[in-house]
Structure 1
């Protein structure tokens, strides 16, 4: 028993001394690193003192630019991280109970997220307002209509030269007409700019992309196609930060002016427009 105790004490002492040795080794390496940094700093100081005024100005300017760029990068990344955290905090409690009903298997609860809740509320308001009147647009009762084609089956534009294609935007009726060989081949429901902010005139289809996000306005869109550089676009109903993260409360505005000047399309129409309306196509807005 005594031998076991002595052996255990010796092992503990050995472990303790090994740890102390590790600590001392770490301190020794740290001191060496400090000496190296000090030596480098002395060299930089000596060089700086011997450098000409012009060289000092150049080096100082470059260092300042690099520092400012680094600070801006850190600030931008921090802003993105904070924005993402805020978005997820808002979306975290997105499970909300909207209905409890009976079925053959017993009680069950139906949950929808905040996006679906926006669409659900719209459908309720629209149904209450319209009732059973035939004049109401029953298509819009379907709260996800802004995801689908708004003009039926899409036409085949293969083989039609750009010179024979034209896009006409009717701001009064909130429609976009695709014209091929002088004939209207497809009509889309749109949302143009509020307060007549969509520019009138003749333009041409230019650059395009799959997604953008405007940090100033806090919204983005998918399948964008520019007709005045990158300032005015055809694009899908608005999204949040990510591709496909559509905002139903904005989608249901399709059919009436709602944008800041761009032309909004349904998700399906925007994708088709992006895929099939070529660069150089004439655009007329009236």
Structure 2
């Protein structure tokens, strides 16, 4: 393996420009952007010291970390652009063609050495492609998790309806993470606005089961511990029947059929009287 790596290192030093050109061309980049070529140059620049290091046989050593970092940067960039993991991996695998061509020229008189070098370079590039796929997967998971957090924040706004009155319109399915976010955001807004009453509107919640009811009760309890009160609105007939059938006790929680009814009650509790002008 040492001889093959030495040969590869010599080729990368002597024919790096030609290898980059062949790599970009093999990847289908006849009209590739300068960024694609820069990515190829960066990966080869980190690969050369790795295969020249004393720990070149150990892919988990520090000598290979720059290569992995370059591949992680490639994966992150391609993931952000919406490129698939397969296409990103195929770009790395395209490195084989120009390297094989260079090896054939350099080892034309040594068929056994050529076969060994091709086999070892194949294993090396395949490992790089696998690192790329792994990094791409991690990047996508982080991106999806961040987008989910942003969507949760957007889907659970805390609205000031009146002086001392806040409202949280809930839309979609409630789970533990979302309920925790709603609770934290609502309690923080109660502190900031010194609100005395919060309305949780579940008109947009498709179903209410035991778990959802428990989440609501926990939120109501937390609001009361902050010195405020809570009204749950949007309880449709179907949801009311479900709550009764499940035996869930919401008698200690004030509820209204619509958000308008809850707002009217909130204003009344705060001493406001709403009348139509004659």
Give yes or no for TM over 0.5. Answer: no
TM-score scaled by length of structure 2: 0.25
TM-score scaled by length of structure 1: 0.24
Between Structure 1 and Structure 2, the one with more helix by share is: 2
